[in-house]
Structure 1
Amino acid sequence: ALMAGETAIHPTPGLGARPEFWMLGSSLFGAQLAAKLGLPYAFASHFAPDHLDSALAVYRRDFQPSEAFEKPHVMVAMNLFVSETEEEAEYLASSQLQAFVALRTGTPGKLPPPVRGYRESLPAPTQAMLAHIGQASAIGTPGQAAEAVRAFVSRTGADEVIFGGSMFDPQARCRSLRLAMEALTG
């Protein structure tokens, strides 16, 4: 029998760890709940940017201090694809762009290999959809990516940024992150 406050779940690794709880959201509801509970709030802007600005405003306006957090704390998510040239970064991003299009057209599947000139090959409405989703993306050279990240942080007032970005080649993803880190911290 379990005693009060006990659970039959034993996480491994991590037993005894005291993880920090966050609210991850992409809507006003998550922002409202995080504010009410005094939790830090992460917004999934890398694939659902529609309610980003209003959710952050609601979260900051309605935040109630908790034992863990005295004031609001925001993380935003960005897609990041960095290479030495803008063309190569766009090529690396094309795997994720294809996956977005497949998901939005009801044909999801495994991450496809990259395609040169993918975005330009699409009809205008699909290009517009990708541009809309991509407002939380940094695709380009290290300098271009750093500029996009800084602009997004300025827009959102985020305390932290988490980077995603599905690439077909894991080594290219590691290189992309390394180039971005050097540009952002150098």
Structure 2
Amino acid sequence: MPATPPALSILDLALIGKGQTARDAFANSVAVARLAERRGYRRVWYAEHHNMAQIGSSATSVLIAHVAAHTETIRLGAGGIMLPNHSPLTIAEQFGTLEELHPGRIDLGLGRAPGSDQSTLRAMRRDHTSSDRFPQDVQELQGYLTGASVIPGVDATPGKGTNVPIYILGSSLFGAKLAAAFGLPYAFASHFSPQALRQAVGTYRHEFQPSEQLAEPYVIAGVNAIVSDTADDAQAQLLAVRRSRVRMFVQKGITVTDEQADEILASPQGHQIAEMMRYTAVGTPDEAQEFLASFAVHADADELMVAPSSPDIEARLRSLELLADVADLVPA
């Protein structure tokens, strides 16, 4: 059990709102990172997703470079790169470049899911068996970044010797066991896949083996946050987000009204959508802080990765400001 209150960080999906462009989303990401830097959040991560009209972080390393150029101290990273979509050498070169440009500020979280559907997987020319090589690919990537390449005669330039810290992401026991065996920090995606959180974290802590990167286990747990000046407004935002998620699962080209979305949410299928947001701090700042404190104990987490989930950028920024107020964050 962590002895000190968990650090707070931010997961930014570079959301493209209704009527917005990807360029708008990137400007919003800069605004979020600048707020994080000013208010004392530990880091901001961006997730690799593909063929999702609402998410602009598909070219993750490029987005990190853009935000890093518009900030000064905040740690930035991938939460995560879906490694089976790429060669380990390419990722080592990309994140080695980022580390050379912004030394001491870059993180590399790795996942083994495709971050997309099967059709998109084929469009990326990905072999469906690529995820089977994930443990070996992580070791190969580690070798490039530490300067101890496991591929004779092949080094990453840039990348070699940068020692960009690697994190393993997951929502199951596979990632927990891998992170423990490799002695790496572990981030659990409880902000959208909460079911195995406690079992995975328990397994990771029990099986952890120290490594050159990490002497003691370190857990990051994802959690949604919708914080407002009033509880009623926060609940209204939560309903809007749930309706939006219903629309994401409906076939393209079909329009769903608010009333229809509410009917779906009341059905067994809708309960599954709501379950994805089981861990959500929603309400006033004090209510949100109380939830996060309880969740940190429940998750046995050293750090919470907050996904600001409000429907628009103004509300997301306000949510992060209010959360920083009650969490007493101190800028580095």
Please state which band the TM-score falls in when normalised by the shorter chain.
0.7 to 0.9
1:9 alignment partner, one of 67, 70, 93: 93
Secondary structure class of the residue paired with 2:225: strand
Partners of 2:307 and 2:179 in 1: CA distance: 22
Q: What TM-score comes out, normalization by structure 1 length? A: 0.80
Once the two structures are superposed, what CA deviation does each residue of 1:154-181 show, in whole Å capped at 9, x if it has no partner? 1112000011033332111111011011
Secondary structure class of the residue paired with 1:134: coil
Larger CA deviation: 28-37 vs 82-91: 82-91
Give the Å deviation of 1:120: 8.5
In structure 1, the residue matched to 2:271 is 128
Q: Report the CA distance shift for 1:97/1:108 in structure 2 as closer, same or farther (over 3 A).
A: farther
* In the alignment, structure 1 residue 69 sits paired with structure 2 residue 214: yes
Give the Å deviation of 1:127: 5.3
Q: Report the CA distance shift for 1:106/1:38 in structure 2 as closer, same or farther (over 3 A).
A: farther
Partners of 2:215 and 2:203 in 1: CA distance: 17
Count the aligned residue pairs.
175
Unaligned runs of 5+ in 1: 1-5
Once the two structures are superposed, what CA deviation does each residue of 1:77-119 show, in whole Å capped at 9, x if it has no partner? 100000011221122233432343234x45479xx9xx7xx76
Give the AA of the match of 1:156: A
Is the CA contact 2:221–2:304 (under 8 Å) kept in the aligned structure 1? yes
Partners of 1:38 and 1:64 in 2: CA distance: 5
Q: After TM superposition, list the pairs within 5 Å mapping 1:1-186 onto structure 2.
A: 9=93, 12-15=97-100, 17=103, 18=162, 19-103=164-248, 105-107=249-251, 122-126=265-269, 128-185=271-328
Larger CA deviation: 49-58 vs 13-22: 13-22
Q: What TM-score comes out, normalization by structure 2 length? A: 0.47
Larger CA deviation: 119-128 vs 174-183: 119-128
In structure 1, the residue matched to 2:65 is none
Q: Report the CA distance shift for 1:139/1:130 in structure 2 as closer, same or farther (over 3 A).
A: farther
Give the Å deviation of 1:121: 8.2
Unaligned runs of 5+ in 2: 1-88, 104-161
Once the two structures are superposed, what CA deviation does each residue of 1:2-51 show, in whole Å capped at 9, x if it has no partner? xxxx8793555433744211001111100010000000000000000011
Give the AA of the match of 2:93: I
Is the CA contact 2:308–2:320 (under 8 Å) kept in the aligned structure 1? no
Give the Å deviation of 1:153: 0.5
Q: Report the CA distance shift for 1:123/1:149 in structure 2 as closer, same or farther (over 3 A).
A: same
Larger CA deviation: 124-133 vs 63-72: 124-133
Does 1 or 2 have the higher relative contact order (CA < 8 Å, sep 6+)?
Answer: 1
Larger CA deviation: 147-156 vs 121-130: 121-130
Larger CA deviation: 86-95 vs 139-148: 86-95
